[in-house]
Structure 1
């Protein structure tokens, strides 16, 4: 019986050569729930009253149940995972800009564009920077981040 290494694996991300500057794609979507908010705040100790106090919501600047931008970013990276599953080597840098509040019940999707694509000096892997625009169900941009990732080239370990 085979050890399985000769059988193609489904769900593998892009290799460096499969991407090019200007390429665009989008992720699946994800609705943010009350349970997501509660679990994230408890796990990270992000217990700011903006996220945890519903009794005095009318006295706060944002009266809806908003979620931390850190939660939105974390979920976006999960949505982006199919892009780099088994091909991503390192997360090197990013800039992040919060554009608008995200609320419990919002559904987010990441719209991605490759804005930088080049080989490393060693030539056995590549650097890829994307502009990730996170939009809610109404198309409103809520978050933008530009990660720089190190990706495998096809045929390299």
Structure 2
């Protein structure tokens, strides 16, 4: 165990592990790939339970009125899983608000699919307040077969570095 005098106390000047990007660290055209996430039966059951999306295709295994094989999941669940991956990395501690969202779903996601996203920064517009900026991005969500399952655009309010002297 290190001696007390050798230990370093937390200091606000130290870089924080897991801290997201401030808008000044981003540029239009910059792209990122998220981690992958496999959708589980537990994800589906918990999501439909908490949201009340108790539609037969989500709650009944092998629903005879279903239009496809497998156990489909709500598009909202796919979106939420990807947003969780983005939040945990790109905007952790710097994302201030989701301002606008437009979404298109192209293909189903079923339990057992693995999804990931490509995030492209499409616009950065600094605001006049507190060094913040509105950052727009396009998020394309792909399954394990490289099929585009969802695409959405998002405008978020992101924090910036404090100006010198603040």
Q: TM-score, normalized by length of structure 1?
A: 0.92
CA-CA distance at 1:3 after TM superposition: 4.9
1:22 aligns with 29
2:158 aligns with 151
CA-CA distance at 1:62 after TM superposition: 2.0
CA-CA distance at 1:154 after TM superposition: 1.3
Correspondence 1:109 to 2:122: no
Correspondence 1:64 to 2:70: yes
Give the number of the structure whose alpha-carbon radius of gyration is greater. Answer: 2
CA distance in structure 2 between the aligned counterparts of 1:106 and 1:63, rounded to whole angstroms: 13
Unaligned runs of 5+ in 1: none
- The 5-angstrom pairing of residues 114-153 of structure 1 reads 114-122=121-129, 124-153=131-160
CA distance in structure 1 between the aligned counterparts of 2:132 and 2:66, rounded to whole angstroms: 49
CA-CA distance at 1:31 after TM superposition: 0.1
Unaligned runs of 5+ in 2: 1-7
Correspondence 1:45 to 2:52: yes
By percentage of residues, which structure has more strand?
Answer: 1
| Structure 2 residue corresponding to 1:75, chosen from 77, 81, 93 | 81
TM-aligned CA distance change 1:149 to 1:38, over 3 Å: same
CA distance in structure 1 between the aligned counterparts of 2:11 and 2:21, rounded to whole angstroms: 21
Higher mean alpha-carbon deviation, 26-35 vs 7-16, is at 7-16
* Structure 1 SS opposite 2:149: strand
Query: In angstroms, what is the RMSD of aligned CA positions?
Result: 1.7
Higher mean alpha-carbon deviation, 113-122 vs 26-35, is at 113-122
Q: TM-score, normalized by length of structure 2?
A: 0.87
CA distance in structure 1 between the aligned counterparts of 2:24 and 2:158, rounded to whole angstroms: 9
> 1:34-81, CA deviations, whole angstroms, 9 ceiling, x for partnerless residues?
1111111111111100111125x3442123211000100111110101
